Amino acid sequence: MTDEDWKYPQQPYRKNGWLQVDDNPPLKSPHKIYYEEYGNPDGEPVMFLHGGPGGTCTPNFSRFFDPERYRIILFDQRGCGKSVPNVAKDGAQAGLANNETSYLVDDIAKLRNHLEIKSKMHVFGGSWGSILAQAYAIKYPETVQTLILRGIWQATKQDLDYMYQGNAETYHKGPYNVTVPGSYLFYPEEWKEYVEIIPQNRRKDMIKAYKEIFDMVPRTPEQQETKRKALVAWSKWEEVISNIVPNTKNVGKYGSDEFATSFAQIENHYFTNNMFMENHYLIKNVERIKDIPIHIVHGRFDQVCPMYQADILVDALRNVGTEPASYVRTTAGHSALELENAMVLTNIMDNLPKMDHSKLPGTKVTGADATQSY
């Protein structure tokens, strides 16, 4: 997307702040999530959930929505962006403490209450944000008007292996052995860089091998450089494969030490803990969201979240007797900022049935229960 491609011009945020969502015991630095509001303060509320885990929001994300119609809320999830403590600035111990799916779900509810949203709201999430949006809707369905989901992710071992494992274990024997499925098939130069960070004898489980480096406390400059390179390699790999035509010479913030330190460690923290969710939790609980209109946008050439993952969700909805409100397969890759994805998402938001939010009853939720099994 270029500036001219967007339907709506970039506007400054109307309001911003930090909301304390957790005391973060036994640490002394409580979690405070950073948020921004754009658009019409009296408009239909839409909650934007960024990807990752460990990504951040940027002002561009507000441009999917008509600022005259919508009250647009962006926020950085725990440990990343402008939220504090930040994994990169304050350390993994602080940033990853109490950083699990159940906490993030309840953070949405707490932010909703803090902003005094009395009606239902549209919930818009892509990639990891699509998981978080569904998990929130499963727990708090009475607060959700519409789900708009892009780049559906199931985050099973199969899905993680496709993206992060591929042919890594046998790469040294034959990098062009393509009998194992994976994103690597489409990005061979970048895959080489990602794989060769890890010693040959530790490539059986790439996510685990990267975690060992991320968890290392460097004692020498050489160890510090090894860790830095690993963090950046992980971050760059995801950014490159998010675009059908990657800009390999400029991966932006994904190549910066600060962003990569936060992004890579938060993602790895979730991946090595099964996303802090019961296996197939979203699919098993899809009946709880069957009455919510669900719009799905998925790039046909997505190599972060291959399209079969969206089909799994559609099949699950049909199995409980409902259809998605729309399911659009674009000729694009993963990123929400690829032109066709962005245009379709904007069009969906422009054409949602208008919500008479001023007359809806209050639906305050506590947002305090972080003990639910996910």
How many CB atoms within 10 Å of residue 169? 16
Whether the CB-CB separation of 126 and 103 falls below 8 Å is answered with no
298: helix, strand or coil = strand
Residue 175 C-alpha from the chain's centroid: 30
Nearest to residue 84, comparing CAs of 13, 14, 25, 19? 19
The DSSP symbol for 353 reads: P
Cβ neighbours of residue 253 closer than 8 Å, sequence gap 6 or more: 259
Gap between the Cα atoms of 369 and 37, Å rounded: 26
21: helix, strand or coil = strand
R_g over Cα of the chain: 20
The DSSP symbol for 362 reads: P
| Active site positions, annotated | 127, 302, 334
Cβ neighbours of residue 8 closer than 8 Å, sequence gap 6 or more: 63, 65, 66, 67, 346
Conformational region of residue 159, where left means phi above 0, alpha means psi within -120 to 50, and beta covers everything else? alpha
338: helix, strand or coil = coil
Q: How many residues does the chain have?
A: 374
